[in-house]
Amino acid sequence: MTDFRPGGEPNAAGGGHHEGARELWVVRLGTMPYGEALELQRTLAAERIVGTIPEDLLLLLEHPPVVTLGRSAKKSHLIASPDYLRSRGVEVFEVERGGDVTFHGPGQLVGYPIFDLRRHRADLHWYLRQVEQSLIDALADYEIPAERNTGFTGVWTRGRKIASIGVHVRDWVTWHGFALNVTTDLSYFDLIVPCGIDGVMMTSVELEVGDSASPTVADCGYRVANSFGKVFCLEPVEVSLGTLTAGIT
């Protein structure tokens, strides 16, 4: 399996590259407005459905402050008023993903896996558990004891929630995904009832590792790409957005 290391080039590890291995195309997008990323996901998912894009994708990025409401979101879980949200520069989107309300913003690693589950297992519950496992394994690199919380989707550590997950599937192709708090300003979560869970405490990689490390979104991205590759038995390969879109236009 290929391991990514800061610097942008994959390094062979664990036996090196295997000829014929299915690939995971990792696309790093930097900071992108939510609306732009949403339309990009929908476009890429459509191309994945028809097979124009031959491999699974993992988009990694950050968003400016935004609150998103999934299909099961309750309006009462958006605590802040529209005026207050505007005063803090927070956009609001209603989207097709599952789940309730969540926040995305600077210092948070957002990942959008665009996977064809027919190449893995056509089982949404299995897929969600695999996404959780990928994040749990990545957090283990920071010696953070991450785990599932029975009855909820997402990843917790020491009783606090560190990652949220919400997905959409059409023709067994996924989009939307996960949000891992790295150096996120957690005060933004006071604007909502995160994921509709009353009393939930949010945390971040930065808070959990304390002074022992200085985590960055970029470093977390490399670790998450590695763990997704291992959990889904894919070979991670970095692909630029320009190269990807050039192949479908």
Q: Which of 195, 205, 224, 225 is catalytic?
A: 195
The amino acid present at 239, given as its one-letter code, is: V
User: β-pairing, 66-69 with 91-94?
Assistant: parallel
Strands (DSSP E) contained in the chain are: 2-4, 10-12, 23-31, 56-62, 66-69, 91-94, 101-104, 108-114, 146-147, 155-157, 160-170, 173-181, 235-238
- Residue range 162-185: average pLDDT? 97
What's the pLDDT score for residue 194? 79
Task: Tell me the pLDDT tens digit for each residue of 186-226.
Answer: 999 999 887 777 778 999 999 999 866 789 999 999 999 99
Distance CA 249, CA 246 (A): 6
Between vectors from CA 219 to CA 140 and to CA 130, what angle results, nearest 5°? 45
- Taking only the tens place, the pLDDT of each residue in 90-125 is 999 989 898 888 999 999 999 999 999 999 999 999
Is the pTM higher than 0.75?
Answer: yes
Quick check: 2 and 237 in contact, CB under 8 A? yes
Residue 195 annotated as catalytic: yes
Q: Is the dihedral of CA 245, 61, 221, 118 positive or negative?
A: negative
